[in-house]
Chains A and B, each alone.
Chain A
Amino acid sequence: MSSGFTKGMARNIFYGGAMFFFLLFVGLSVDTVVNRLPDRDNRAAINDQVARGKEIWEVNNCIGCHTLLGEGAYFAPELGNVYARRGPEFIKMWIKMQPTGTPGRRQMPNFHLTDEELDDLVAFLKYVNGVDTANWPPNIEG
């Protein structure tokens, strides 16, 4: 670096740049949250059942094996669109009959969920399936 460029100048670029882009980021986030998300995040579908479903999703750590909208673990199928791929009845039946016990095959535990909890979970997966994800995933297999 040439000697004309001083530490003070570098420091100013750091503070100025950080401030400017932090504020820009906050501004864009406000626009996203306030103006854009209401049309995209399927909030009309959110109700108590979906809220309970999300908690069941969380306290059983489904994200530790599965992805949801492409985020999570890569060990088991994408579930953001499983509602469309499999439908509600399959999902409930599937969760009830775990583990498969097929030797050598990846296993999913049994979470001992009640029928009501299964309905909550499905309501949550249905809600997520309705989020506008800009056409992701590329196909139904996720």
Chain B
Amino acid sequence: MKYQSQSVSKPYFIAAIGLFFGQIIFGLIMGLQYIIGDFLFPEIPFNIARMVHTNLLIVWLLFGFMGAGYYLIPEESERELHSPKLAIALFWIFLIAGALTIVGYLSLPYARLAELTGNNLLSTMGREFLEQPLITKVGIVIVALGFLYNLSMTILGGRKTSISLVMMIGLWGLAIFFLFSFYNPTNIVLDKYFWWWVVHLWVEGVWELIMGAMLAFVLIKVTGVDREVIEKWLYLIVAFTLITGLIGTGHHYFWIGAPEYWQTLGSVFSAMEPIPFFMMTIFAFNMVNRRRREHPNRVATLWAMGTGVMAFLGAGVWGFLHTLSPVNYYTHGTQVTAAHGHMAFYGAYAMVVMTMISYTMPLMRGREANSNLSQVVEMWSFWLMTIAMVFITLFLTGAGILQIWLQRVSETPMSFMATQDQLMIFYWLRLASGLMFLAGLLLYIASFFINGEPATVESRNPVGARGAAA
């Protein structure tokens, strides 16, 4: 850690991991409700569990991005953060607002929550991922603006690098596109059309910039490769992101009432969206192969490479699978979508946040890397969570294909509910994989409590095991 104020990231990362744990618990509850339909009914109806699961996901990723921003921007700008006090204040505001929102979901009927929080003033609730009460949405905007102010002021008085510029464009974009969550017309087609300006333009637009910048930052640190090379890659990756991803939004405009030219435009452009993800994979592996130094934090490097691969699989491959309109006609809104949503969110955003945490946490705790044992445990957690996610994706894809076959392709289509009964084997297997994921997450958390002699390059590489890096 070069600057004292970078340590404000620590509470952000700790909160992120805590919320991640909560997310998984609610995922497992739903996994069981998929099979035993009345499990926890009426205490926790499925929609409530889902809302908690997905909102915790978004909030912990936002905590992760903010933590990453507070760490990365001072280091890149070569100066202390503009206001560490503001960063800590915003941390508590965000954590408390988030916690109250979740408590509201769980303790009140949703309609009552809407009533109490002024949804009648401006109705924004009850739409997927944007379920938060108006005051929470306003809170998110305030926290985001405070955060952006703090970082922007830091950069303005310091060194301006390409990494921090791309990071800032991504973060500003995140805040700006979130404003579309306040637009909710009665016209359902307009509602859906601009809902995607939050959801798609986040995950396949500005968040990719944030992700690219985080990955580039960590890769410079762990490989020592020349900044010029890394930043050239970064620009090219994010260029392809926006060149393909903006018009690629059209892959959500096939069946919601938008004009049919989106079937062509959306298919063609979104079919190219895997390119930037593929480039990220190549980027990560290439930089590690060309490394100029050995970094004792091996597990951070593992996360960085894993992010490249899993983002490509989840977003690139599983995205491509259902993105052409003739295919999407059948897959739209099935378990295939859920399969893709899981691997993409995990592979890209959950993993890039864990990459950043893995690299920075030891530094914030006063060492270059964790002990060998801690790193080995963290590597186990990496493999358990990642392999579990691959299984979850495969089982949901299996469920989705069978669902499509029985309910949509067949000459004598089955009803939705009758079809679901036929998919139970896949749901059991998904649940089992979910338990494996939980085991991985518990190991991940445990790895933070394993102390011991910090690893050094020598202790990771017993004599002569590895010659001087080329």
Q: Which B residues lie within 8 Å of A17 (CB)?
A: 239-240, 242-243
Query: Is the Cβ of A25 less than 8 Å from the Cβ of B256?
Result: no
Contact A24 B247 (CB under 8 A): yes
CA distance A90 to B431 in the complex (A): 34
* A82–B233 alpha-carbon span in the complex (Å): 49
| Contacts known (A37-B258, A41-B190, A106-B46); A137 close to B408, Cβ less than 8 A | yes
B232–A60 touching, CB < 8 Å: no
Give the distance to chain B from A72, nearest Cβ to Cβ, in Å.
5
Q: Select from chain B the residue with minimum beta-carbon distance to A138.
A: B408
Determine the distance from Cα of A3 to Cα of B130 in the docked complex, in whole angstroms: 46
> B258 and A36: CB pair below 8 A?
yes
CB proximity to A under 8 Å, residues B306-361 = 329-330, 332-335, 337-338
Expressed in whole angstroms, the Cα–Cα distance for A140 and B265 within the complex equals 27
Could you tell me which residues of chain B, from 28 to 45, have a CB within 8 Å of some CB in chain A?
30, 33-34, 36-38, 41-42, 45
Q: Tell me the smallest distance from the CB of A105 to a CB of chain B, in Å.
A: 5
Cα distance A27–B79 in the bound complex, in angstroms? 41
Given contacts A6-B232, A104-B36, A131-B188, contact A58 B123 (CB under 8 A): yes
Contact residue range for chain A?
Answer: 35 or more
A87 interface hit (Cβ, 8 Å): no
Kindly state the separation between the CA atoms of A104 and B38 in the bound complex, as whole angstroms.
5
Given A54-B186, A59-B115, A40:B239 Cβ within 8 A: no
Docked-complex contact A109 and B128, CB < 8 angstroms: no
Chain B residues positioned under 8 Å from A93 (CB to CB): none
Taking a contact as CB atoms under 8 Å apart, the answer to whether B47 and A73 are in contact is yes
With A74-B335, A99-B41, A104-B36 known as contacts, the answer to whether A37 contacts B189 (CB < 8 A) is: yes
A30 to chain B, nearest CB (A): 12
In whole angstroms, how far apart are the Cα atoms of A35 and B407 in the complex? 35
Residue in contact with B243 in the complex, picked from A21, A75, A127, A138, CB distance below 8 Å? A21
Q: Does A136 contact B (CB under 8 A)?
A: yes
Q: Is B204 an interface residue, CB under 8 A from the partner? A: no
The reply to whether the CB of A118 lies closer than 8 angstroms to some CB of chain B is no
Do A67 and B333 touch (CB < 8 A)? Answer: yes
- Residue in A18, A74, A107, A134 whose beta carbon sits within 8 Å of that of B333 in the complex: A74
User: Which chain A residues lie closer than 8 Å to B110 at the CB level?
Assistant: 59-61
Chain A residues with CB under 8 A of B239 = 10, 13-14, 17-18
A residues 1-22 with Cβ under 8 Å of B? 1, 5-7, 10-11, 13-14, 17-18, 21-22
Residue B303 interfacial (CB < 8 Å): no
- Residues 383-431 (chain B) with a chain A CB within 8 angstroms: 407-409, 413-417, 419-420
Min CB gap B137→A, angstroms? 14
A69 and B256 form a contact (CB under 8 A): yes
Q: Cβ of B329: which chain A residues have Cβ within 8 Å of it?
A: 136, 138
Chain B residues near A88 (CB, 8 Å)?
Answer: none
Chain B positions within 8 Å of A69 at CB level: 188, 192, 255-257
Q: What is the minimal beta-carbon distance from B415 to any residue of chain A, in angstroms?
A: 5
Binary contact readout A38-81 vs B (1 if CB under 8 angstroms, 0 otherwise): 00111100100011001101111111110111111111111000
Q: Which residues of A contact B232 (CB under 8 A)?
A: 1, 5-7, 10
Which partner residue on chain B sits nearest A63 by CB separation?
Answer: B128
Contacts of B332 in A (CB 8 A): 70, 136-137
User: Roughly how many angstroms separate A42 CA and B186 CA in the complex, as a whole number?
Assistant: 11
Once the chains are docked, how many angstroms separate the CA of A72 from the CA of B239?
30
Chain A residues, CB < 8 A from B231: 7, 10
Subset of 20 A-B contacts with CB under 8 Å: A5-B232, A42-B257, A59-B125, A60-B111, A61-B51, A62-B126, A64-B45, A64-B51, A64-B131, A69-B256, A75-B46, A102-B38, A104-B38, A105-B38, A106-B420, A109-B45, A136-B254, A138-B409, A141-B408, A141-B415
The 9 A-B residue pairs with the shortest CB-CB distance in the complex, in nearest-first order: A64-B47, A58-B126, A106-B37, A70-B333, A136-B255, A10-B235, A41-B189, A36-B259, A14-B239
